[in-house]
């Protein structure tokens, strides 16, 4: 049983971060449209994810054909290519997606994403490092 989601969610980029995010949303009973340009990634995830599509997310028309313009929330999980990430956010803005979450790999990258129109910018590696530091310090205090 899938939860009725107000508008639907897509995750773009099935690297380690995007794939794990998609898995977690599925585990929480949210249906996700996962998109990657790499046919091998699409093939790999098609067995585990309900909806997987192969497309270059910088191509606005390709996203429109997949129905992305009708979704309420889209996460851009592309990390390595700043260009692909920024052009994807631009395409999503052009399509009128109301809630765009985008992954940044540097401060400059995050500023561009926000300037182009991403509502939420996330730093998964920085946040994981910060959490681990707190965890280590807490554990150290436990043993004082
Ligand atoms: P992670 O750290 O999550 O493993 P990464 O930084 O190693 O990611 P990236 O190069 O950011 O890897 O790519 C993440 C995924 O995004 C890859 O599966 C890649 O095929 C996909 N991707 C990259 N560019 C595009 C694009 N233009 N359209 C669709 N998917 C893309």
Which value does ipTM take for this structure? 0.94
Q: Give the residue carrying structure tokens 């509502």.
A: 119
pTM: 0.91
Per-residue pLDDT for the chain (144 aa), expressed as one digit of tens each? 555 555 689 999 999 999 999 999 999 999 899 999 999 999 999 988 889 999 999 999 999 999 999 999 999 999 899 999 999 999 999 999 999 999 999 999 999 999 999 999 999 988 999 999 999 888 777 765
DSSP string across 60-111: HHHHHHTTGGG-SEEEE---S-HHHHHHHHHHHHHHT-SEEEEE-SSHHHHH
User: Which among 77, 99, 126 is positioned nearest to 88, based on CA atoms?
Assistant: 77
Up-side HSE of residue 12: CA atoms within 13 Å toward CB? 31
Distance 103 CA to ligand 1 centre (A): 11
Which atom of ligand 1 approaches the CA of 105 most closely? 6
Q: Is 15 in the pocket of ligand 1 (CB under 6 A)?
A: yes
Q: Is 43 in the pocket of ligand 1 (CB under 6 A)?
A: no
Distance 140 CA to ligand 1 centre (A): 36
User: Which among 55, 51, 63 is positioned nearest to 100, based on CA atoms?
Assistant: 63
């Amino acid at each position: 049983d899938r939860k009725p989601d107000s508008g639907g969610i897509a995750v773009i980029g099935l690297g380690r971060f995007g794939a794990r995010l998609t898995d977690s949303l599925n585990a929480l009973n949210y249906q996700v449209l996962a998109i990657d340009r790499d046919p091998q990634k699409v093939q790999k995830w098609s067995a585990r994810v309900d909806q997987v599509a192969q497309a270059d997310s910088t191509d606005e028309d390709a996203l429109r054909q997949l129905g992305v313009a009708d979704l309420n929330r889209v996460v851009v999980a592309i990390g390595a290519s700043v260009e692909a990430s920024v052009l994807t956010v631009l395409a999503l803005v052009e399509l009128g997606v109301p809630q765009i979450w985008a992954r940044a790999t540097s401060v400059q990258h995050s500023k561009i994403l926000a300037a182009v129109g991403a509502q939420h910018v996330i730093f998964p590696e920085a946040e994981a490092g910060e959490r681990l530091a707190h965890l280590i310090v807490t554990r150290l205090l436990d043993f004082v």
